[in-house]
């Protein structure tokens, strides 16, 4: 008689990491997904409509009690990540949602696996918080949510991924990520200036590599600790990312003029005050402001710590694999809406877009969308 599988409750299942986690975990667990608006329509999961900000998740009391009685562990991925949202809404969603899931964990006696972000290590200066209130609210709320997990009376694991790339085999991703717009614009030659110096690091990890590490932790019975799901010392430098985008663009036509890489201190002191003035078109002002906000948060001079490759925490991608992965994701983006249709000149070779690595079992990728 087959052994009954443990019940894993997942929030944010319709998101990028949520879908990758369903792929990773559905073989070993019975997955229950809480959803608010977006249905998953995935036969591998059981969906329950809920509101994380309401007492007992907005469920009738009997339903909440039955859910708590059957849940064995919780993976909490749901979060407000749109920095254009009102800061108070971002804070309320990320703190209230975490508190609601911790309440369920307490009732269920279940450990919490909390998806935070590596960029809690990048606190913003006061003038940056004023200029970029959405990013500031996001980082502050994730930092405070981590503390809620530490203070809770149930076991908790804090997971800190960096920028999430597309799948390491297909290059696809479930939703458009902020940084992808910047890289797509570089490929199209639409970015004359990129905020940040050439040698800062852009830490990106494929969604299935992150999901694999989470799966290893869950299956390994790890129920405490903080894990950095990052490329760390292997992360690409900004100039390497830009070069890969320009080389990829040559498959479709002349190589775009390379953007000028401007240190962030010059961006804050000179470029942003200039562009925010009345002489620049509103569309240009919004675009550059978005790029500066994203890259302000996503850049690091020193590498993150990385837990990938440590016991029960997946595999560590190499720098070469990450660069090859970026090419594969560019290839996936190029065939989609807003990609390079109509500009086709050559297909990326198999050498440039490698298949699954024989050493790590993965080839890391970055999906781009317009």
Q: For residue 14, give the CATH number of its domain.
A: 3.40.50.720
Question: Does 359 reside within a domain?
Answer: yes
Q: pLDDT band for 296, please (50, 70, 90 cuts).
A: confident
User: Based on the domain organization, do 253 and 120 belong to the same domain?
Assistant: no
Question: Does 2 reside within a domain?
Answer: no
User: Based on the domain organization, do 49 and 117 belong to the same domain?
Assistant: yes
247 lies in which domain range? 168-202+235-301+319-370
Give tens-digit pLDDT for 64-88: 999 999 999 999 999 999 898 999 9
Residue 127 has a pLDDT of 82
| Closest to 20 (Cα-Cα) out of 202, 169, 120 | 169
Question: Final residue of a domain: which of 130, 161, 192?
Answer: 161
Residue 58 region by backbone torsions, left for phi larger than 0, else alpha for psi between -120 and 50, else beta: left
User: Based on the domain organization, do 176 and 65 belong to the same domain?
Assistant: no
Q: Give 349: exposed, middle or buried? Use CB within 10 Å, 0-12, 13-18, 19+.
A: exposed
Question: Does 251 reside within a domain?
Answer: yes
115 token code pair: 């998806």
Residue 348 has a pLDDT of 40
How many domains, in total, are found in the chain?
A: 2
Question: Final residue of a domain: which of 161, 194, 211?
Answer: 161
Question: Does 91 reside within a domain?
Answer: yes
Please write down the long-range contacts of 48-56, taking CB distance under 8 Å and 24 or more positions apart.
Answer: 52/11, 52/78, 52/93, 52/96, 52/97, 52/100, 52/101, 53/92, 53/93, 53/96, 53/97, 53/100, 54/100, 56/103
- CA 307 to chain CA centroid, Å, is 16
User: Based on the domain organization, do 138 and 198 belong to the same domain?
Assistant: no
Q: What is this structure's pTM? A: 0.88
User: Based on the domain organization, do 132 and 53 belong to the same domain?
Assistant: yes
Task: Name the residue with tokens 């090419």.
Answer: 327
User: Based on the domain organization, do 293 and 175 belong to the same domain?
Assistant: yes
Residue 128 has a pLDDT of 85
Q: Which residues contact 3 (CB under 8 A, 6 or more apart)?
A: none
Dist CA 232 CA 174 (whole Å): 24
Question: Does 213 reside within a domain?
Answer: no
User: Based on the domain organization, do 252 and 334 belong to the same domain?
Assistant: yes
Q: pLDDT band for 341, please (50, 70, 90 cuts).
A: low
Dist CA 283 CA 294 (whole Å): 17
Give tens-digit pLDDT for 181-200: 888 889 999 888 888 889 99
User: Based on the domain organization, do 188 and 328 belong to the same domain?
Assistant: yes
Mean pLDDT over each residue of the chain, to the nearest integer = 87
Give tens-digit pLDDT for 355-367: 333 233 332 222 2
How far is the first Cα of the chain from the last one, in angstroms, to the nearest whole number? 50
User: Based on the domain organization, do 106 and 197 belong to the same domain?
Assistant: no
Question: Does 31 reside within a domain?
Answer: yes
Question: Does 223 reside within a domain?
Answer: no
Determine contact, residues 75/113, Cβ cutoff 8 Å.
yes
């Amino acid at each position: 008689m087959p052994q009954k599988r443990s019940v894993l409750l997942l929030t944010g299942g319709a998101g990028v990491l949520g879908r990758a986690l369903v792929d990773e975990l559905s073989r070993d667990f019975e997955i229950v997904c809480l959803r608010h608006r977006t249905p998953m329509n995935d036969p591998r999961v059981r969906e329950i409509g809920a509101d994380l900000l309401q007492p007992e998740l907005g469920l009738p009391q009997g339903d909440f009690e039955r859910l708590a009685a059957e849940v064995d562990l919780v993976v909490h991925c749901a979060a407000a990540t749109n920095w254009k949202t009102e800061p108070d809404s971002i804070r309320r969603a990320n703190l209230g949602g975490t508190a609601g899931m911790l309440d369920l964990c307490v009732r269920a006696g279940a450990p919490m696996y909390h998806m935070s972000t590596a960029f809690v290590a990048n606190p913003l200066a006061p003038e940056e918080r004023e200029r970029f209130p959405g990013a500031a609210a996001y980082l502050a709320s994730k930092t405070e949510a981590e503390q809620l997990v530490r203070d809770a009376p149930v076991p908790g694991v804090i997971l800190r991924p960096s920028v999430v790339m597309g799948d390491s085999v297909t290059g696809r991703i479930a939703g458009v990520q902020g940084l992808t717009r910047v890289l797509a614009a570089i490929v199209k030659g639409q970015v004359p200036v990129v905020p940040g110096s050439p040698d800062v690091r852009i830490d990106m990890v494929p969604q299935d590599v992150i999901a694999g590490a989470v799966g290893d932790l869950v299956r390994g019975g790890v129920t405490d600790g903080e894990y950095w799901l990052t490329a760390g010392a292997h992360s690409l430098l900004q100039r390497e990312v830009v070069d890969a985008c320009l080389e990829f663009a040559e498959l479709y036509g002349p190589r775009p003029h390379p953007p000028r890489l401007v240190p962030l201190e010059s961006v804050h002191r000179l470029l942003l005050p200039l562009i925010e003035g009345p002489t620049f078109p509103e569309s240009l002002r919004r675009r550059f402001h978005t790029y500066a906000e994203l890259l302000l948060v996503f850049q690091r001079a020193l590498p993150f710590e990385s837990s990938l490759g440590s016991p029960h925490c997946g595999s560590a991608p190499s720098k070469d694999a990450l660069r090859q992965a970026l090419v594969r994701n560019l290839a996936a983006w190029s065939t989609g809406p807003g990609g390079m249709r109509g500009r086709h000149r050559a297909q990326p070779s198999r050498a440039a877009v490698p298949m699954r690595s024989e050493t790590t079992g993965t080839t890391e990728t970055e999906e781009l969308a317009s």
